[in-house]
Chain A
Amino acid sequence: QTHFLSHSLQAKMSRRVQARRLEGIDKNVWVEFVKLATTYSKVNLGQGFPDFPAPDFLTEAFTRALGGGNHMLHQYTRAFGHPPLVKVLAQFFEKLLGRDLDPMTNVMVTVGAYQALFCCFQALVDEGDEVIIIEPFFDCYEPMVKMAGGTPVFVPLRPNPPKDGKLMSSADWQLDPAELASKFSERTKAIVLNSPNNPLGKVFSRGELGLIAELCVKHDVLCISDEVYEWLVYDGKQHIRIASLEGMWDRTVIIGSAGKTFSATGWKVGWVVGPDRLLQHLRTVHQNSVYHCATIAQEAVAQGFQRELMLYGKPESYFVQLPKELQQKRDWLVRSLDSVGMKPIIPEGTYFLVADISPFSESP
Chain B
Amino acid sequence: VEFTKVAADPSIVNLGQGLPDISPPSYVKEELAKAAAVDRLNQYTRGFGHPSLVKALSQVYEKVCGRKIDPLTDILVTVGAYGSLFSTIQALIEEGDEVIIIEPFYDCYEPMVKMAGAKPVFIPLRCKNDGNSASSADWVLDPAELANKFNSKTKAIILNTPHNPIGKVFTREELQVIADLCIKHDTLCISDEVYEWLVYKGNKHIKIATLPGMWERTVTIGSAGKTYSVTGWKLGWSIGPENLIKHLQVVHQNTLYTCPTPLQEALAQAFWIDYRRMDDPDCYFYSLSRELESKRDRMAQLLKEAGLKPVIPDGGYFIIVDVSTLNVDLSDVNEKQPYDYKFVKWMIASKKLSAIPLSAFFGPETKKQFEKYIRFCFIKQDSTLDAAEVILKNWNKQTG
Contacts and interface: CB of A to CB of B under 8 A. Distances in A.
B186 A15 contact: yes
A71 B216 contact: no
A74 B260 contact: no
A302 B380 CA distance: 28
Contacts of B44: 47, 49, 259, 265-266
B115 A288 contact: yes
Interface in A45-63: 47, 49-54, 59, 62-63
Interface string B26-43: 000100110011011111
Given A22-B251, A71-B23, A267-B260, A290 B47 contact: no
A288 B111 contact: yes
Interface string B8-29: 0000000001011101100001
Contacts of B112: 288
A17 B20 CA distance: 37
B291 to A, nearest CB: 15
B83 A266 contact: no
Interface residues of B, number: 69
Contacts of A288: 86, 108, 111-112, 115
Contacts of B260: 111, 266-268, 294, 297
Contacts of A112: 256-258
B20 to A, nearest CB: 6
A332 to B, nearest CB: 21
Interface string A91-133: 0000000000000000000011011001000000000000000
Interface residues of A, number: 66
Contacts of B90: 19, 21
Nearest to A79: B1
B42 A54 contact: yes
B86 A51 contact: no
A193 interface: no
Contact of B232 (A30, A73, A264): A73
Contacts of B231: 74-76, 292
Interface of B: 1, 4, 17, 19-21, 23-24, 29, 32-33, 36-37, 39-45, 47, 79-80, 82-83, 86, 90-94, 108, 111-112, 115-116, 183-184, 186, 188, 212-213, 216-217, 225, 229-235, 241, 243-244, 247, 250-251, 253-263
Given A268-B256, A296-B263, 14 more contacts: A13-B244, A19-B94, A25-B250, A25-B254, A49-B43, A52-B39, A66-B33, A114-B255, A267-B42, A268-B258, A268-B260, A288-B108, A289-B86, A291-B80
